[in-house]
Chains A and B, each alone.
Chain A
Amino acid sequence: GAVVSQHPSWVICKSGTSVKIECRSLDFQATTMFWYRQFPKQSLMLMATSNEGSKATYEQGVEKDKFLINHASLTLSTLTVTSAHPEDSSFYICSARDRGTSGNTIYFGEGSWLTVV
């Protein structure tokens, strides 16, 4: 299957600082990427849909000024958690849609663990 890479795999940051997570589609172009977060023992929760060259679409209840998404190229989307607080500590996962496959298959990155101290 297609490869989606996230960086960093894990990050620890101080409360009040911002942290950026990158999501790259390595072997296909992705006009659409998706960002999820997952708390322990829970399922994935969709945060936003990232569209190349346009503003992201956020799910209800997700603060767009808190979670900044930029999709500046066909292979890269970034999620910036601004003014992070301990409650933002979570597993953040991105995915990318490969329109070159039947059914526009979506592939996921390895995830990024964020710990805010």
Chain B
Amino acid sequence: DAKTTQPPSMDCAEGRAANLPCNHSTISGNEYVYWYRQIHSQGPQYIIHGLKNNETNEMASLIITEDRKSSTLILPHATLRDTAVYYCIVRATHYNQGGKLIFGQGTELSVKP
């Protein structure tokens, strides 16, 4: 699975959009970009995933560049409860290609009042 690079930490003001970047320059054509977050002492929570098109759900938006070498997770109106470590992971999903999620260090997002 391709490696990702994320900034170790970011701050965001409550109510503002949080934009979390991720570089995955060695991503393969069959690998999806996944985002999870982990609030302290809990299991990771799935946020969103995408292959090449931008995606949006009730939690966030995922913007993937045209060359797929980087992406941005957008939390449109950050709240204090969004304070967490955010993980960007690229993963092949076909059964015979493992499909494992390998976690890096992630970005620690602090939402401040």
Interface residues of B in 93-113 (CB under 8 A from A): 93, 95, 98-106
Judge if A67 is at the interface, Cβ distance under 8 Å: no
B58 CB, min distance to chain A CBs, angstroms: 10
B32 with A43: CB separation less than 8 A: no
A111 with B41: CB separation less than 8 A: yes
Complex CA–CA separation, A111 to B43 (angstroms): 5
Complex CA–CA separation, A46 to B103 (angstroms): 8
Judge if B68 is at the interface, Cβ distance under 8 Å: no
Interface residues of A in 63-117 (CB under 8 A from B): 91, 93, 95, 97, 103-111, 113
Most A Cβ at <10 Å: residue of B34, B87, B95? B95
Complex CA–CA separation, A107 to B46 (angstroms): 6
Complex CA–CA separation, A95 to B99 (angstroms): 12
**Chain A interface size, under 10 / 10 to 19 / 20 to 34 / 35 or more:** 20 to 34
Residues in A whose Cβ lies below 8 Å from that of B42: 110-111
Judge if A25 is at the interface, Cβ distance under 8 Å: no
Judge if B75 is at the interface, Cβ distance under 8 Å: no
Complex CA–CA separation, A106 to B38 (angstroms): 14
Residues in A whose Cβ lies below 8 Å from that of B101: 34, 46, 95, 106
Chain A residues within CB distance 8 Å of chain B: 1, 4, 6, 32, 34, 36, 43-46, 49, 91, 93, 95, 97, 103-111, 113
Chain B residues within CB distance 8 Å of chain A: 32, 34, 36, 38, 41-46, 49, 51, 87, 93, 95, 98-106
Extra contacts besides A46-B103, A97-B99, A106-B101 (8): CB < 8 Å: A34-B101, A36-B103, A43-B87, A43-B104, A43-B106, A104-B99, A106-B34, A110-B42
